[in-house]
Structure 1
Amino acid sequence: MSYSTSPDWADVEPIAQEDGDHPLAAIAYMDDYSEAMSYLRAVMAANEHSERALVLTEDIISMNPAHYTVWLFRAKTLFELGSDLREELTYLNAIALKYQKNYQIWHHRQLIMEKLGDPTGEGKFIAQMFEKDAKNYHVWSYRQWLVRHFSLWDSPTELSDIQSLLLADVRNNSAWNHRFFLIFGRQEQYPSFTPLPETVKRETEYAKTAVYSAPQNPCPWVFLRGILKKTKQPLSTIQSFAAEFAPFERPDEVKSSHALDVLADIFAETEGRKEDAVKVLDLLAQRYDPIRANYWRYKKARLTPIPMATTAAAA
């Protein structure tokens, strides 16, 4: 579309981009994009919120969907005109599916959802996005915002959706993170909140079952540690469970380096078991996680401080 020859834009004097007389690194924009932006500057300068302005923003977004200012102007125009926000969500769905890693789309969607005040249908669309990429950071961030904003902490569909994602991929760390967020995240808003004991028990058993299915998957181990920390239980609570996967006295039978890590931390804090902690850390450094050998040696060094030289030796 040529704005300079369109009768719909004949009354607008475009404002060209001003880069100064001798720009050091002028960007070589496409002619169509430069023209559209010059008309957007004019519209914004006139504070015009109109249907043609919406069409203009849509044109620019089709050429540069990451243009943050255009999205903000579009949102303001939609609100000023009292536009159908459900239609805007339909438009956004197509854009988001096409440009999956675009942050600006999700910020715009959040503004629309705040104004709309009703998250109906969002879970279904998010599921579509996760079919494309189940670890899309922007989508997960948006989902957490939805939970906070609309108090969806106890929504059965939230937990069931996460169940489905973890059934499809038990190593989906993003899904594990969201599950933990559903259980404990509301403490950010309500510090006095404490999950019910039966909820904590359910989540603990869920994580343990996941460990049995994939002992070397770090996600459920981190999840278990998080539960214990949030509920102020000692790590030794899961000592016997970790020992099932890390019989360190029989190294050939160890099934999980993460279980060894748990045992090392437990032994380090247990009177009389520092030597066992050293054995476990040596196993991690030399056999089960050598890529992080320096880290395991560092932890070992903290358990075995260097003895101070005697006065006689110093002399």
Structure 2
Amino acid sequence: MSKYSDSPEWDDVVPVAQNDGGPNPLAAIAYTEEYSEATSYLRAVMAQDEKADTLFVLKKDLLQELEWLNKISLKHLKNYQIWHHRQTIMSRIPSLPSNELSFLARMFSKDAKNYHVWSYRSWLVRHFSLWETELPYIETLLKEDVRNNSAWNHRWFIVFGRHMDPAKDSIKDGGVIFEIDPEIINREIEYAKEKIGLAPQNQSPWNYLRGILKKRSKSLTEIRDFAEQYANLEKEDEIRSSHALDLLADIFTEENQVERSGKALELLANRFDPIRKNYWNYRRTLLGLTEVSA
């Protein structure tokens, strides 16, 4: 492979070397010589503003660029730069292309939990204001795989993120903080409960349920009866969910039932989640209880 430094086309470019933290970096990445040279020249042309804006300056067909990106994306599923480039291109397109969502569905069919695609989809929802049409698609994904934690996270974003002020963790509209519609809250509680019933050992809907109650500033004790359907301390052999036990430990703590909370944590440590025994024991010490042995 020929070097950039040997090419007359690059004579006027002074490469910019990567700064790994001084002459003796603690943990420098061992790039190949070819890669180091290529990125050094890339940094140089970016410093001179010679970068992807070329597409815009030359007034290239952006939809054609997306078609090219589709092929690359399907070949390199985990490449972050592809999705950054796609977002840059999409930000210049006035309306959502008709095949964009179907292409993303195709990407999810190959990897339903691809972080880069989910991040891009969240941006797409905000940019084109797709809030009203997004929820049915998420419900489809959760019907296909109720354990898709990425879909659960996106559902939370769709339901509660529309007016979110990240700096204050509050819901705002035009600068005014408002309460979420109680009907939406109740709908989401029942939805999470329904999905828990399908897979009680799936942590995502349990976390979702906790999050809703926190958003309402309500006590966890409201769902004690529900949690006890999956983890009744009086019927240890019928316990179906370690996450229900964890929730009950917190509920009993709220109710000042220290011994019952300690019992839930003991069951987690010794029987239902022993891989995290040290954590459950730590929780017991916070209650003033002794650690449990094997």
In the alignment, what sits opposite 1:29?
34
Instruction: Report matched runs for 1:179-190 at 5 Å.
Output: 179-189=155-165
CA–CA distance in structure 1, aligned partners of residues 46 and 279 of structure 2: 55
Bigger Rg, which one: 1
In the alignment, what sits opposite 2:56?
79
**TM superposition score normalised by structure 2:** 0.80
3-state SS of 1:263 partner: helix
Instruction: Report matched runs for 1:35-46 at 5 Å.
Output: none
Q: Are residues 261 and 84 of structure 1, via their aligned partners in 2, closer, same or farther at CA, if it must alter by over 3 Å?
A: same
CA–CA distance in structure 1, aligned partners of residues 31 and 239 of structure 2: 60
Percent identical residues: 53
CA positional deviation for 1:14: 4.2
| Alignment match of 2:242 (pick from 250, 257, 275) | 257
CA positional deviation for 1:165: 1.2
Instruction: Report matched runs for 1:1-315 at 5 Å.
Output: 12=9, 14-15=11-12, 27-29=32-34, 73-74=51-52, 76-120=53-97, 121-153=99-131, 155-156=132-133, 158-189=134-165, 191=172, 192-271=177-256, 273-304=257-288
CA positional deviation for 1:28: 3.3
CA–CA distance in structure 2, aligned partners of residues 261 and 41 of structure 1: 50
Q: Are residues 305 and 249 of structure 1, via their aligned partners in 2, closer, same or farther at CA, if it must alter by over 3 Å?
A: closer
Given residue 129 of structure 2, which amino acid in structure 1 is its aligned partner? S
Deviations, residues 168-216 of structure 1 (Å, cap 9, x unaligned): 1111100000001111112324522543222211111111111111111
CA positional deviation for 1:151: 2.2
Q: Are residues 283 and 88 of structure 1, via their aligned partners in 2, closer, same or farther at CA, if it must alter by over 3 Å?
A: same
User: Which structure 1 residue ranges, 5 or more long, are not aligned?
Assistant: 49-72, 307-315
Given residue 211 of structure 1, which amino acid in structure 2 is its aligned partner? I
CA positional deviation for 1:126: 0.8
CA contact (8 A) 1:187 1:193 kept: no
Deviations, residues 55-113 of structure 1 (Å, cap 9, x unaligned): xxxxxxxxxxxxxxxxxx12x01111122111111111111111111111111111111
Deviations, residues 128-172 of structure 1 (Å, cap 9, x unaligned): 11011000000001111112222222x22x112111111111111
Given residue 205 of structure 1, which amino acid in structure 2 is its aligned partner? E
3-state SS of 1:229 partner: helix
CA–CA distance in structure 2, aligned partners of residues 119 and 193 of structure 1: 30
Q: After TM superposition, which residue ranges in structure 1, 4 or more long, deviate above 4 angstroms?
A: 12-20, 23-26, 40-48
Structure showing the higher helix proportion among its residues: 1
CA–CA distance in structure 1, aligned partners of residues 188 and 34 of structure 2: 53
CA–CA distance in structure 2, aligned partners of residues 263 and 291 of structure 1: 19
Q: Are residues 300 and 205 of structure 1, via their aligned partners in 2, closer, same or farther at CA, if it must alter by over 3 Å?
A: same
CA positional deviation for 1:13: 5.6
3-state SS of 1:138 partner: helix
